[in-house]
Amino acid sequence: MKPKVAFFEFTSCEGCQLTVLDTLQRHPELLEVIEIVQFREAMSERGEDYQIAFIEGSCTRPSDEAKIREIREQASIVVALGACAHLGGINAIRNRMPLEQTREYVYGDKKDWFETYPARPLSAVIEVDAVIPGCPIDRKEFATAVTHLLQGRMPAIPDYPLCIDCKLTENVCMFLRGQTCLGPVTRAGCEAICPAQGQGCEGCRGLIPSPNMHSIKQALREHGMTEDQIAAKLSLFLTYQTMQLEGVTPA
């Protein structure tokens, strides 16, 4: 029996699901060993009998929680797909502002028409079995994750910093090139694609365990960044995690 797989999305751009489609086109053999029963980006049929659920997107409305919990009850394995599901993603930037101010800024005089609350990763609502990080996810990492699940193993993500990837790919450190980078506190696993193209890491794969935030902030200061610029850089993908480190809970 092929394991039945379903894909779901909450607040996101759905770019990770598009990456999944691209991966399946490059690796059609995966379709021979799994049965996809629900995937809005690719099919109109909707099956509710599934064992593995991939969820993209963050939880941004109270009503999202019921559906997320329903998926958790049905699925034997739940995988957070991408930075929004894993970290709260870019959506969590608003958590730094009073919710009422955010609602008024986005919706204006229609602010009471729309249900919303601080953005949360899936793990703030349910237990998540595995994560495929990134914005968007990496094609090879997704294919590997599916293979591991079929073998009865949980996908593993690196717990060491991106700097290791840069050394393995022989990139010159972004700081030595006069630029800034969050690689020292960000999980590796993407083959340092951004630094390889001359762009410092923005942290889309999330923080490593026990990141040295004091040192990374000091390094950013030494390279000319103001406190506001540092806060903005750490907020793009890491708002939820850094607020947790600060002991701040979104209202």
Contact 200, 181 (CB under 8 A): yes
How far, in whole angstroms, is CA 249 from its chain's centroid? 19
pLDDT tens sequence across 159-190:
999 999 999 999 999 999 999 999 999 999 99
What pLDDT was estimated at residue 249?
Answer: 74
Q: What is the mean pLDDT of residues 61-81?
A: 97
Contacts of 1 (CB under 8 A, 6+ apart): none
What pLDDT was estimated at residue 127?
Answer: 98
pLDDT tens sequence across 7-42:
999 999 999 999 999 999 999 999 999 999 999 999
Other C-beta atoms lying within 10 Å of the C-beta of residue 76: 10
* Residue 202: pLDDT over 70: yes
Question: 80 falls in which pLDDT band (50, 70, 90)?
Answer: very high
Residue (of 3, 2, 6) closest to 20 by Cα position: 6
What pLDDT was estimated at residue 251?
Answer: 59
Place of tokens 């480190």: 245
Place of tokens 């699940």: 149
**Torsion over CA: 79, 82, 87, 90 (sign):** negative
Q: What is the mean pLDDT of residues 84-95?
A: 96
State pTM to two decimals: 0.94
Question: 1 falls in which pLDDT band (50, 70, 90)?
Answer: confident
Q: What is the distance between the alpha carbons of residues 87 and 133, in angstroms, rounded to a whole number?
A: 9
Query: How many H-runs (helices) and E-runs (strands) does the chain carry?
Result: 9, 5
Q: What is the mean pLDDT of residues 33-59?
A: 95
Q: What is the mean pLDDT of residues 58-79?
A: 97
For 8, 179, 185, the CA distances from 203, given in Å and listed in that order, are: 24, 15, 8
